[in-house]
Amino acid sequence: MIWRDTTARTMIGSMLVSSIGMGLYTLALGQTLFQHTGDAQAFAMIFALQGLGAVAVLPFSGPLVDAFDSKAVYVLCSLLRAVTVSVIVLALFTGHGGMVTVVGTAAVFLAVFDNVQRTAFFKFTAHHIAGDRAVAFNSLIGIAIQAGSLIGMAVLGLVLMIGTATQALLVDVAVSLVAALVVSRLRAPRQESAGRLRNSTLRSALPDLLRDWAGLFSRHRHEVVVFGMVLMCAGDFVYSYSLSTLVVPLVDAWHGGQPWAVSALEGTLGAGMIVATFFTRHTVRLVLLPVWVSLQAVIAAGLAFTTAPTLHYVGFFLAGFANLNGITLLLTLLQQHAGPLDKAKMASLRLLAIGLGTAALMPVLGLATRQSLAAAFLTVAALLVPFAACGVWAALRFRPRAADGAKNEAEPRPEPVPA
C-alpha cells in the first residue's frame, strides 16, 4: 500500500502543499498587476514570463540537480520561493514605484525555482520510491498537483473576500516554508549518485554541463523512441489544457451559460483522473499507451458533434481517465529507464517538451476557437494524431529496463579540483 511508505506519503503531501501555493500565487500576482495597471493582459503577462523562465532554466537544471542531493535542492527551492514572494509583499507594503518590474522579475524567478524543484522531485522519487510502487505514486502525484492548484485558487477567493491579493501572497510564503520543513525532516532511504558537475570548477562548469547532456544523448543514441516518449508528454498536457480552455464556450453553447456547469465539468474531468488511480495496476501498461492517446483524440472529436449535456459529462470523465493513465505511464517509464546520473536531466527534457509543446500548440487551438466550438474540438483531436502514432511506435519499439537495473554505461569519475 503506497500510503504505508513514509517517503511516498511525505512527498505526495509536500507536492500537494506546494501546488496550493503555486495555484494561489499565480492568480494573486496577476490580480496584483491588474490592480496597479488596470491592464486586463496582466494574467497573460504572468504566464508568458513564467514560460520564459521555465524554458531558460530547464537546459541547466537537469545536470545541476543530477550533481547534487535532490532533497537539498527541493528544500532550497521552497525556501527561495518563500523569499521571492516575501520580496513582492514587502515591495507592495512599502509602495515601491516599479511594481510591474518587481512582479515581472519575480515571476521569472518563481518559474525557475518551481521547475528546478520539480526536476529535483522527479529525481528524488525515481531514486527512492520502490519500483513496484512507482505507478501508484505517479498517478497520485498528478492528482496532488491538480487538487493543490484548485485548492490554491479557492483559498485566494476566500482571502479576497476579507483581504487583498497582497495578503493572499503571505499564504504562499507559509505553505512554501511548510513544504520545505516537511521534506527537510525526511530521511532518504538510500544515497544518490553524484553527477559530473559536482566536481566542476567555475571555468569548467559549462563544458562539463555540455558533456553531461552529450552523455545522456549518447547513452540513448540507439533508443530514439525514448525521446519520442519525452515529446509525447506534451500531448497529454496540451489535451488537459485544451479541455479547460474549451469548457467555458462549451457551457455557454449547450449548458445555458450556467457558471456551476463549468465547475461541474472540470470536476468531472478530475473525477475521471481520481477513479483512474484505482485501476493503474491494470491500465498503466506500455501496450495500452496508444489506446489512451487515441481515446483522448476520439473523445475530442466526439465532443465536437455532441449537443447533449449528459454526454459532455461522460466525455470529460473518460477524458480524465485516459489522460491520467497516459501521463502516469510516460512518467513512470522515463523515471525508471533513465540511468542513475540521468534522472534529473530526463525530468528537464520532459518539462521542456511540455513547455515548448504548450507554447507551440495552444495558439493553434486559439485560432480554431475563433471559427467555432466544433472546429476547436476537432483541432484538439487532430493535434493528438501524431502523438497517437508516436504511442504506437513506443509500444512496438520501446524496451523498458528493470527499475533497479538502469545503469549508465560510463559514469564520470570525479576529477581533481585545483586548490
Q: How confident is the model at residue 46 (pLDDT cuts 50, 70, 90)?
A: low
Look up residue 364 and give its three cell numbers: 493553434
DSSP annotation of 402 reads: P
Give yes or no for a contact between 328 and 284, defined as CB atoms under 8 angstroms apart.
yes
**Rounded Cα–Cα distance for residues 112 and 411 (Å):** 28
Indicate whether 100 pLDDT > 90: no
Per residue in 361-373, pLDDT tens?
888 888 898 899 9
- For residue 41, name the pLDDT band (cuts at 50, 70, 90): low
The count of residues in the chain is 419
**Per-residue pLDDT, 29:** 78
- pLDDT interval class at 224 (50, 70, 90): very high
pLDDT band at 40 (very low <50, low <70, confident <90, very high): low
Specify the pLDDT at position 48.
65
Neighbours of 305 (CB within 10 A): 10
Nearest Cα residue to 102 out of 91, 113, 116: 91
Average pLDDT over residues 226-252: 90
What pLDDT is attached to residue 292?
Answer: 97
HSE-CB at 248 with a 13 A cutoff on CA atoms is 5
CB 175 within 8 A of CB 20: yes
Question: Residue 119 corresponds to which amino acid?
Answer: T
- The C-alpha cell at 332 is 513512470
* pTM (2 d.p.): 0.77
Q: What is the mean pLDDT of residues 21-28?
A: 78
DSSP designation for 139: H
For 195, half-sphere exposure in the C-beta direction (CA atoms, 13 angstrom radius) is 29
Task: Provide the grid cell at 50.
Answer: 513564467
What's the rounded Cα separation, in Å, for the pair 330 and 357?
Answer: 16
